[in-house]
């Protein structure tokens, strides 16, 4: 058998052994590469499945009921839920991307589950094994959508000096990570008076201060749906979701306007058409939450006129 002779003093290796070493290296590299691909594929499958399961669990929360509803999600592995919102036409898109921790490192996949009718208010990234979700209908003035609030069971929100309506609702939700009073340093403090909390809510003024930024909300009636969204969501998520809601409101105004025209033809005269067109235009021109109050004022006028009209539109 031929031999390959290296420099003097170097190890003498037969050609057969050198060939075996090279082939062995290729096989090992291929196995590692294939294993990595299989693992990545498995991560993507798991991410997609969990995303779909979360969407399925959210469906019962989208109801016609006028009260808040809550549920929880428990996973076996440390999980990160990435909330991705886009406000492109016609109604924007709600996306979730799921990462899980494996060998003390987070997996990264590009698999997303998308929805065009869900509105999830949360941090950009929410981590844990257990997650709480509750929802509330958003009426502006008619029902626009159900808003969904997602938090980790590892994060506790403590409400201080909240209005009676908020206290009642938090109490009825009976969600373990939402606390009334008795705040500790480990809690995320939401204060309705004072300025030394993580979130300072100016309830009557219609805005809150968080991370040195103002986020505006407005409620028609006593819903507080947008207020909760502003509390639990990062600002970019909140602004994107409200933009999507205004896009939906714009279309609903057009539908109710046509409904009133049809009612008028059968002798059921209404008087909301002018305000509906005004509301539609304002919703269509919406840019950010600082303009939500002016839209809310028109929405209240629409609600009052619809209530006293001969034929209610909703």
In terms of C-beta density within 10 A (0-12 exposed, 13-18 middle, 19 or more buried), how is residue 214 classed? middle
The domain segmentation of the chain, as residue ranges, is 3-41, 245-308
What CA–CA distance (Å, rounded) separates 207 from 232?
14
> In this predicted structure, what is the pLDDT of residue 46?
60
Q: Which residues contact 187 (CB under 8 A, 6 or more apart)?
A: 156, 157, 158, 179
Average pLDDT estimate for 90-98 = 93
Average pLDDT estimate for 239-266 = 94
**HEC string for the chain:** CCEECCCCCCCCEEHHHHHHHHHHHHHHHHHHHHHHHHHHHHHHHHHHHHHHHHHHHHHHHCCCCCCCEEEEEEEEEEEEEEEEEECCCCCCEEEEEEEEEECCEECCCCCCEEECCCEEECCCEEEEEEEEEEEEEEECCCEEEEEEEEEECCCCEEEECCCHHHHHHHHHHCCCCEEECCCCCCCEEEECCCCCCCEEEECCCCEEEECCEEEECCCCCCCCHHHHHHHHCCHHHHHHHHHHHHHHHHHHHHHHHHHHHHHHHCCCCCCCHHHHHHHHHHHHCCCCHHHHHHHHHHHHHHHHHHHHCCCCCC
pTM score of the predicted model: 0.82
Are 5 and 14 contacting, i.e. CB atoms less than 8 angstroms apart? no
For the cut 70, the answer to whether the pLDDT of residue 86 exceeds it is yes
- The proportion of the chain whose per-residue pLDDT surpasses 70, expressed as a percent, equals 79
pLDDT band at 24 (very low <50, low <70, confident <90, very high): low
Record the tokens describing residue 38, joined without a space.
Answer: 């299989």
> In this predicted structure, what is the pLDDT of residue 8?
47
Considering just the CA atoms, what is the radius of gyration of the chain in Å? 28
* pLDDT tens digits, one per residue of 135-178: 999 999 999 999 999 999 999 999 999 999 999 999 999 999 99
What CA–CA distance (Å, rounded) separates 306 from 284?
21
> In this predicted structure, what is the pLDDT of residue 263?
87
Q: What mean pLDDT value characterizes the chain?
A: 85
Q: Which of 147, 155, 152 is nearest to 240 (CA)?
A: 147
Tell me the pairing of strands 13-14 and 3-4. antiparallel
Q: Terminal CA-to-CA distance of the chain, rounded, Å? A: 93
For the cut 90, the answer to whether the pLDDT of residue 187 exceeds it is yes
Greater confidence (199 vs 21) lies with 199
Average pLDDT estimate for 164-193 = 94
């Amino acid at each position: 058998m031929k031999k390959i002779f290296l420099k003097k003093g170097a190890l003498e290796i037969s050609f057969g052994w050198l060939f075996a070493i090279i082939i062995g290296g290729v096989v090992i590299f291929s196995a590692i590469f294939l294993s990595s691909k299989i693992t990545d594929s498995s991560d993507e499958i798991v991410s997609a499945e969990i995303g779909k399961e979360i969407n399925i669990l959210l469906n019962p929360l989208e109801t016609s009921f006028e009260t808040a509803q809550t549920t929880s999600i428990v996973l076996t592995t440390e999980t990160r839920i990435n909330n991705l919102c886009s406000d492109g036409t016609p109604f924007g898109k709600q996306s979730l991307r799921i990462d899980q921790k494996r060998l003390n490192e987070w997996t990264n996949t590009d698999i997303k589950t998308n929805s065009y009718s869900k509105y999830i208010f949360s941090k950009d990234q929410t981590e844990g094994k257990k997650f709480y979700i509750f929802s509330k209908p958003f009426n502006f003035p008619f029902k626009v959508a159900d808003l969904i609030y997602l938090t980790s069971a590892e994060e506790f929100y403590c409400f201080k000096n909240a209005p009676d309506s908020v206290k009642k609702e938090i109490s009825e939700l009976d969600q373990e990570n939402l606390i009334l009073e008795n705040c500790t340093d480990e809690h995320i403090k939401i204060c309705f008076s004072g300025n030394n909390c993580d979130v300072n809510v100016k309830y009557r003024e219609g805005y809150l201060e968080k991370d040195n930024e103002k986020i505006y909300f407005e409620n028609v009636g006593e819903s507080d749906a947008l207020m909760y969204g502003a509390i639990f969501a990062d600002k970019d998520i909140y602004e994107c979701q409200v933009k999507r809601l205004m896009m939906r409101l714009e279309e609903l105004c057009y539908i109710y306007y046509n409904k009133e025209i049809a009612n008028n033809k059968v002798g059921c005269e209404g008087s909301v058409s002018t305000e509906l067109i005004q509301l539609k235009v304002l919703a269509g021109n919406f840019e950010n939450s600082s303009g939500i109050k002016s839209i809310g004022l028109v929405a209240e006028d629409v609600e009052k006129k619809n209530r006293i009209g001969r034929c209610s539109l909703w």
